[in-house]
Amino acid sequence: MHRRHLLAALSLAACSTLLPGLAWAQAGKVTRIVVPYGAGGPLDITARVLAERLKDSLGTVVVENKPGAGGNIGVDLVAKAPPDGLTLGLAAVATHAINPWLFSKLPFDAAKDFAPITQLVRVPNVLVMNADTAQRLRINTLADLVAYAKANPAKLNFGSGGNGSAGHLAGELLKAKAGIFALHIPYNGGNPAQLALLGGQVDFNIDNLATATPNIRSGKLKALAVTTAKRSAALPDVPTLAETFPGFEIDTWWGVLAPAGTPADVVQKLNKAITDALGTPELKARFATLSAEPTPTTPEQFGQFMAAERAKYGPVVKASGARVD
pLDDT at 27: 60
Do 186 and 258 lie in one domain? The reply is no
CATH of the domain at 206: 3.40.190.10
C-alpha to C-alpha distance for 59 and 15, rounded to whole angstroms = 14
C-alpha to C-alpha distance for 233 and 209, rounded to whole angstroms = 11
Do 167 and 256 lie in one domain? The reply is no
Cβ–Cβ < 8 Å for 141, 268: no
Domain boundary among 243, 266, 292: 243
Over the Cα atoms of the chain, what is R_g?
Answer: 22
Domain boundary among 190, 220, 243: 243
* Low-confidence spans in the chain with pLDDT less than 50: 1-26
Do 232 and 193 lie in one domain? The reply is yes
Encode pLDDT of 187-244 as tens digits. 988 889 999 999 999 999 999 888 898 999 999 999 999 998 889 888 899 999 999 9
Do 163 and 87 lie in one domain? The reply is no
Beta strand pairing status for 114-130 and 293-294?
antiparallel
Max Cα-Cα span within the chain: 89
Question: Does 144 map to a domain?
Answer: yes
Do 134 and 114 lie in one domain? The reply is no
Question: Does 31 map to a domain?
Answer: yes
DSSP E strands in 148-216: the ranges are: 157-160, 183-186, 204-208
Q: Distance of alpha carbon 184 from its chain centroid, rounded?
A: 22
C-alpha to C-alpha distance for 205 and 167, rounded to whole angstroms = 7
Encode pLDDT of 275-308 as tens digits. 999 999 999 998 888 888 899 999 999 999 999 9
Do 59 and 143 lie in one domain? The reply is no
Question: Does 39 map to a domain?
Answer: yes
Do 131 and 234 lie in one domain? The reply is yes
Question: Does 49 map to a domain?
Answer: yes
CATH of the domain at 278: 3.40.190.150
Domain count, the chain: 2
Q: Distance of alpha carbon 41 from its chain centroid, rounded?
A: 10
Do 133 and 225 lie in one domain? The reply is yes
Do 29 and 173 lie in one domain? The reply is no
What is the pLDDT of the chain when averaged over all its residues? Answer: 89
pLDDT at 2: 46
pLDDT at 4: 45
Domain boundary among 211, 243, 275: 243
Cβ–Cβ < 8 Å for 134, 215: no
Do 8 and 98 lie in one domain? The reply is yes
C-alpha to C-alpha distance for 323 and 306, rounded to whole angstroms = 21
Nearest CA-CA partner of 34 in 65, 60, 58: 65
Parent domain of 276: 2-123+252-320
Q: What is the pTM of this model?
A: 0.82
Question: Does 196 map to a domain?
Answer: yes
Do 84 and 178 lie in one domain? The reply is no
Do 223 and 259 lie in one domain? The reply is no
Question: Does 325 map to a domain?
Answer: no
Amino acid, res. 163: N
Judge residue 137's burial from the number of C-beta atoms within 10 Å of its C-beta, 0-12 exposed, 13-18 middle, 19 or more buried. Answer: middle
Question: Does 189 map to a domain?
Answer: yes
